[in-house]
């Protein structure tokens, strides 16, 4: 890269830095909690706690007043979820799912939880610790959303990028995480992560492996074959990909629900559709799922499964991934989704009405048979149109997110890659 480009990039990065450091935010918080209720204000537009001297600058903004201690202890309810659209990465656990996670963590005897991209779980643990004297559970949040630095000290929150294992707070922040993982020779700690679903599995696995390596350093030699217990919350269709990187993991049938997601939400139609599951290296029989929600224990599989997940005698396993009852196909020699039928042309089971593999499919661009999109003679035209359209969309988006970026840094927003339409159709529609 040329000197000029490097300098320009540095300048852009400088302009995108958060206006206040974590330390400054912590100092502000200390002043803020000393204020009487009537003077505790939060600017919803700037997503910032306001000290009295700053009220003037935010006049005309939507400001929340009389902030109680409960507001401050539940920042995930105070802050709005970033980019709450299709590209939104910030989906917050519904209370029941969050409480379920915490209950299971406590039941399994963990005392420390490293929350990687799980602010709501972190918040619930902190709340429990502050309310119950006998509670001995601690948590540390690693998240890219710097707004949380207004509510948590450096001991409780590290500004972190889970796609490249980067601590924005440098060596000091890294050290806090190291200490947290290595305390008590690494005993009693669990890592819980709920990354943006559009994120690639490989970089996430890379970061998890770095965190595992940090934890492992605290282990005495004879414990070296032990694994850091992990809950990785992710859609079920990533199972094979996750298992590629973590062969000791298995998928738990529990359906994780979210507050701010139309489909992954508890409700008449939403509940059943959540494709989000827990992947873990903890023995599945230890993870007791709520019977009152229909989960039951399969003695053969030695794990809790959803009510619709019937044990297939031929596969000798509870085969359903999505909670519905799957059917065994004798030709494919495996269980398949109820909406699939065996297709003699494709020689496998597929969605009813699918386009058979061997059928003549025209080019996606011009529709003519005999060639594909990649070799289409008309390719250049629509691609340019696409690029222009993309630039337009990016421009619009930049204007919209500009304010938040200026306040909290360029990494505050993140995109959530669209789940491939094909996959989406299979999972959500069939
Ligand atoms: C799907 S949400 C999970 C939130 C979780 N369900 C909760 O309620 O606590 C993804 C979380 O990861 C965070 N995140 C997104 N991109 C990240 C990145 N590159 N590094 C670290 N955290 C990230 C978001 O800020 C958000 O808190
Ligand atoms: Zn404001
Ligand atoms: Zn079974
Ligand atoms: Zn079967
Ligand atoms: Zn079949
Ligand atoms: Zn077919």
pLDDT in tens, 43-80: 999 999 999 999 999 999 999 999 999 999 999 999 98
Compute the distance between CA of residue 13 and CA of residue 256 in angstroms, rounded to an integer: 36
Ligand 1: residue whose CA is nearest its atom 25: 145
Whether 97 is in the pocket of ligand 1, judged by its Cβ within 6 Å, is no
Whether 231 is in the pocket of ligand 1, judged by its Cβ within 6 Å, is no
CB 214, CB 177: distance < 8 Å: yes
Residue 81: pLDDT band with limits 50, 70, 90: confident
Q: Which two tokens stand for residue 123?
A: 């918040």
CB 214, CB 178: distance < 8 Å: yes
Q: How long is the chain?
A: 430
Any idea which of 227-241, 328-342, 379-393, 415-429 has the lowest mean pLDDT? Answer: 415-429
Residue 220 reports pLDDT greater than 80 = no
Residue 235 C-alpha to ligand 5 middle, in angstroms?
24
pTM, full prediction: 0.83
Residue 426: pLDDT band with limits 50, 70, 90: very low
Residue 275 C-alpha to ligand 1 middle, in angstroms?
17
What integer is the mean pLDDT of 83-96? 71
What integer is the mean pLDDT of 399-411? 42
Compute the distance between CA of residue 312 and CA of residue 334 in angstroms, rounded to an integer: 9
ipTM: 0.98
pLDDT in tens, 258-310: 987 666 655 444 445 789 999 999 999 999 999 999 999 999 999 999 999 99
CB 278, CB 251: distance < 8 Å: yes
Got the DSSP string for 119-166? HHHHHHHHHHHHH-TT---EEEEEES-GGGGGTS-TTTEEEEETTTTE
pLDDT at residue 365 in the model: 66
Instruction: Tell me the percentage of the chain whose pLDDT exceeds 70.
Output: 77
Q: Which of 225, 232, 164, 243 is nearest to 411 (CA)?
A: 164
Compute the distance between CA of residue 213 and CA of residue 172 in angstroms, rounded to an integer: 18
Compute the distance between CA of residue 232 and CA of residue 277 in angstroms, rounded to an integer: 8
CA angle 47, 160, 205 (to 5 degrees): 130
Q: Which of 292, 300, 321 is nearest to 309 (CA)?
A: 321
What integer is the mean pLDDT of 205-215? 97
User: Taking the CB of residue 12, how many other CB atoms lie within 10 A of it?
Assistant: 10
Compute the distance between CA of residue 104 and CA of residue 113 in angstroms, rounded to an integer: 12
CA 165 to chain centre: 15
Ligand 1: residue whose CA is nearest its atom 19: 161
HSE at residue 69, side-chain half, CA atoms within 13 A, is 7
Whether 118 is in the pocket of ligand 1, judged by its Cβ within 6 Å, is yes
End-to-end Cα, the chain, rounded Å: 49
Q: How many helices (H) and strands (E) does the chain have?
A: 12, 19
Task: Tell me the β-bridge partners of 190.
Answer: 113
Give the list of residues 6+ apart from residue 336 with CB closer than 8 angstroms, or none.
326, 327, 328, 329, 349
Residue 381 reports pLDDT greater than 80 = no
pLDDT in tens, 97-137: 999 999 999 999 999 999 999 999 999 999 999 988 888 89
CA 73 to chain centre: 21
What integer is the mean pLDDT of 188-213? 95
Whether 196 is in the pocket of ligand 1, judged by its Cβ within 6 Å, is yes
Residue 1: pLDDT band with limits 50, 70, 90: confident
pLDDT at residue 296 in the model: 96
pLDDT at residue 177 in the model: 98
* Secondary structure class of 328 (helix, strand, coil): strand
Question: How does the average pLDDT of the chain come out, rounded?
Answer: 84
Any idea which of 194-203, 212-221, 255-264, 334-343 has the lowest mean pLDDT? Answer: 255-264
Residue 420 C-alpha to ligand 5 middle, in angstroms?
23
What integer is the mean pLDDT of 219-227? 73
Q: Which two tokens stand for residue 108?
A: 């399994």
Ligand 1: residue whose CA is nearest its atom 17: 144
Compute the distance between CA of residue 341 and CA of residue 326 in angstroms, rounded to an integer: 11
pLDDT at residue 311 in the model: 97
Residue 138 reports pLDDT greater than 60 = yes
What integer is the mean pLDDT of 314-343? 95
Compute the distance between CA of residue 261 and CA of residue 90 in angstroms, rounded to an integer: 10
**Ligand 1, atom nearest to 256 Cα:** 6
CA angle 93, 95, 100 (to 5 degrees): 90
């Amino acid at each position: 890269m040329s000197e000029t480009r490097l300098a320009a990039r540095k300048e852009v990065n400088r302009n995108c830095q958060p206006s206040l450091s974590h330390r400054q935010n912590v100092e502000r918080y200390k002043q803020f909690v000393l204020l009487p209720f009537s003077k505790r204000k939060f600017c919803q537009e700037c997503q910032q706690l306001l000290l009295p001297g700053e009220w003037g600058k935010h006049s005309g903004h939507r400001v929340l007043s009389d902030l109680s201690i409960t507001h401050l202890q539940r920042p995930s309810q105070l802050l709005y979820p970033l980019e709450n659209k299709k590209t939104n990465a910030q989906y917050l656990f519904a209370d029941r799912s969050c409480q379920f996670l915490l209950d299971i963590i406590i039941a399994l005897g963990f005392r420390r939880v490293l929350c990687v991209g799980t602010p709501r779980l972190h918040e619930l643990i902190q709340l429990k610790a502050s309310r119950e004297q006998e509670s001995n559970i601690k948590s540390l949040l690693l998240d890219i959303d710097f707004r949380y630095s207004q509510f948590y000290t450096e001991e409780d929150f590290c500004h972190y990028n889970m796609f490249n294992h980067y601590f924005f707070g440098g060596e000091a922040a890294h050290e806090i995480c190291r200490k947290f993982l290595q305390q008590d020779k690494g005993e009693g700690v669990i890592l819980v992560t709920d990354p943006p679903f559009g994120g690639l599995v490989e970089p996430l696995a890379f970061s998890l492996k770095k965190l595992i390596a940090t934890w492992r350093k605290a282990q005495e030699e004879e414990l070296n074959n032990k694994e850091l217990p992990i809950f990785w919350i992710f859609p079920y269709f990533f199972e094979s990909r996750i298992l590629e990187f973590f062969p000791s993991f298995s998928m738990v049938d529990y359906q994780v629900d979210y507050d701010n997601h139309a489909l992954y939400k508890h409700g008449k139609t939403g509940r059943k559709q959540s494709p989000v599951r827990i992947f873990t290296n903890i023995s599945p029989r230890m993870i007791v799922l709520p019977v009152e929600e229909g989960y039951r224990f399969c003695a053969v599989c030695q794990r809790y499964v959803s009510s619709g997940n019937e044990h297939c005698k031929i596969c000798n396993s509870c085969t359903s991934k999505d909670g519905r009852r799957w059917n065994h196909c004798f030709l494919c020699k495996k269980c398949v989704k109820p909406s699939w039928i065996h297709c003699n042309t494709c020689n496998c089971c597929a969605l009813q009405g699918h386009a058979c593999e061997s059928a003549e499919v025209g080019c996606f661009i011009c529709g003519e048979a005999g060639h594909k999109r990649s070799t289409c003679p008309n390719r250049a035209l629509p691609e340019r149109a696409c690029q222009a359209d993309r630039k337009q969309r990016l421009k619009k988006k930049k204007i919209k997110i500009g304010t938040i970026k200026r306040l909290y840094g360029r990494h505050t927003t993140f995109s959530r890659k669209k789940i491939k339409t094909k996959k989406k159709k299979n999972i959500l529609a069939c």
